[in-house]
């Protein structure tokens, strides 16, 4: 009688993180770029750099060709607006699902339920190398606790999603990641789980993980001092307005946490209507112009084409450059919105010094 793996149909061995990185190596230029990008983000959180962080890009990457075209456009825009905005490309490969559905490029790169995970990881790492070569920092959602060993050296900022902010596994993982981490508020819009997550991730933990050789290890972390909250609304209500921002400041202060707030312009903050994202962005810019010192960044879901489309069995019918998960604003809207944002903030800077308290 078997007492183990009764619901497991098969096991496939994956190459070790060390072997994988040898197959897809990075050069000194990329290494320097990633470290400089991380340092810039830390400086913004520390108020040593007064630019606004902008995390922008597709809800999820399903087509690497379209992702590269988007990155090429965004790289030029990032350089144009670099005096006022620090632009980071959203490159999300893993999608948490409420029930079932496509789980992202790593899990199912061929969009057909074949789950060629090693191929998905290869496609993902190759894409991130190319995006870093274009001079763009990369943001992703840290969902699977194993994949950072394979990908993290190419990432400058990570998010912990609303569905996983409450997870002890993800809080422990965040405590050991080498990048600034944004914890989203809960799906109900509540702040408590995010505040608890920030406190947890800033402390050291001991937990199970793998090393570069792929061996199960006890990981001892020192804590991540650059975790911060991301307001994304929830429970059918937005929380980007000045009242909710002030309430968030109060909660952070009461918990003796740095007063650093990023606002996600999508999800419940735009009532799940992507075309409302620029209006949310305008509101955030106005709050900053009126003297807010706690908002350090924004997030936007954007692609080459506006909207989204359903994933069907006939992949030939998919429209190029359009999301297959959440709806996005178009490239033209993105370009216009970010130029307007930079123009508004030009000449107006956050106070440079210690974290706002």
pLDDT tens figures, 230-244: 999 999 999 999 999
Residue 163: both structure tokens together: 């569905």
pLDDT tens figures, 88-121: 999 999 888 766 789 999 999 999 999 999 999 9
Q: Which of 82, 73, 21 is nearest to 50 (CA)?
A: 82
Residues 119, 12 contacting (CB under 8 angstroms): no
pLDDT tens figures, 263-310: 999 999 999 999 999 999 999 999 999 999 999 999 999 999 999 999
Quote the DSSP letter at residue 7. T
Could you tell me whether strands 181-184 and 206-210 are parallel, antiparallel, or unpaired per DSSP bridges?
A: unpaired
C-alpha span between 248 and 260 (Å, rounded): 10
Reduced DSSP (H G I as helix, E B as strand, rest coil) percent helix, strand, coil of the chain, to 5: 40, 15, 45
Identify the H or E element spanning 136: none
Predicted local distance difference test score (pLDDT) of residue 356: 46
Residue 95: both structure tokens together: 């999608």
> Over the range 151-182, which residues count as b (16 or more CB within 10 Å of their CB) and which as e?
bbbbbbbbbbbbebbbbeebbbbbbbbebbbb
Interior angle at CA 152, CA 163 and CA 182, nearest 5: 40
Predicted local distance difference test score (pLDDT) of residue 219: 97
Q: Strand, coil or helix: what is 14?
A: coil
Residues 183, 172 contacting (CB under 8 angstroms): no
pLDDT tens figures, 127-180: 999 999 999 999 999 999 999 999 999 999 999 999 999 999 999 999 999 999
Reply yes or no on whether the pLDDT at 349 is more than 70: no
Q: Strand, coil or helix: what is 88?
A: strand
Predicted local distance difference test score (pLDDT) of residue 100: 73
pLDDT tens figures, 188-218: 999 999 999 999 999 999 999 999 999 999 9
The model carries a pTM of: 0.95
Quote the DSSP letter at residue 312. -
Predicted local distance difference test score (pLDDT) of residue 263: 98
Identify the H or E element spanning 158: strand 157-160
C-alpha span between 270 and 284 (Å, rounded): 13
Predicted local distance difference test score (pLDDT) of residue 357: 45
Please compute the mean of the pLDDT values over residues 54-83 and round it to a whole number.
98
First to last CA, the chain: 62
Predicted local distance difference test score (pLDDT) of residue 2: 85
Please compute the mean of the pLDDT values over residues 218-227 and round it to a whole number.
98
Residue 306: both structure tokens together: 């506006």
Predicted local distance difference test score (pLDDT) of residue 350: 53
Whether the CA torsion 308, 139, 123, 165 is positive or negative: it is negative
């Amino acid at each position: 009688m078997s007492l183990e793996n009764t619901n497991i149909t098969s096991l496939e061995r994956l190459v070790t993180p060390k072997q994988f990185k040898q197959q897809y190596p990075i050069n000194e230029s990329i290494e320097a770029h990633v470290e400089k990008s991380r340092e810039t983000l830390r400086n913004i959180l520390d108020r040593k750099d007064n630019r606004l962080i902008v995390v922008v890009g597709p809800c999820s990457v399903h087509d690497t060709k379209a992702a590269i075209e988007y990155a090429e456009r965004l790289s030029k825009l990032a350089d144009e607006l670099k005096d006022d905005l620090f632009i980071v490309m959203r490159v999300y490969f893993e999608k948490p699902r409420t029930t079932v559905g496509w789980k992202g490029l790593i899990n199912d790169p061929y969009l057909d339920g074949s789950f060629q995970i090693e191929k998905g990881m290869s496609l993902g790492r190759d894409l991130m190398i190319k995006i870093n070569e274009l001079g763009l920092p990369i943001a992703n959602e840290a969902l699977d606790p194993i994949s950072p060993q394979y990908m993290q050296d190419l990432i400058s900022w990570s998010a912990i999603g609303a569905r996983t902010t409450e997870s002890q596994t993800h809080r422990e993982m965040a405590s050991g990641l080498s990048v600034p981490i944004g914890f989203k508020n809960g799906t109900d819009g509540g702040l408590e789980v995010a505040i608890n997550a920030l406190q947890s991730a800033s402390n050291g933990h001991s937990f199970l993980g793998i090393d570069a050789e792929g061996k199960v290890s006890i990981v001892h972390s020192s804590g991540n001092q650059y975790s911060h909250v991301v307001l994304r609304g929830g429970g059918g209500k937005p929380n980007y307005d000045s009242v909710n921002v002030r309430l968030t400041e109060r909660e952070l202060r009461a918990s003796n946490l740095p007063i650093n707030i990023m606002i996600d312009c999508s999800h419940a903050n735009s009532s799940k209507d992507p075309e409302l994202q620029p209006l949310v962005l305008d509101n955030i810019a106005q709050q900053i112009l009126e003297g807010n010192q706690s908002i350090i960044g924004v997030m936007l879901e954007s692609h080459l084409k506006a909207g989204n489309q359903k994933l069907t069995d006939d992949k030939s019918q998919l429209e190029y450059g359009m999301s297959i998960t959440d709806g996005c604003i178009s490239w033209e809207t993105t370009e216009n919105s970010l130029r307007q944002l930079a123009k508004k903030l030009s000449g107006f800077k956050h106070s440079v010094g210690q974290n706002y308290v």
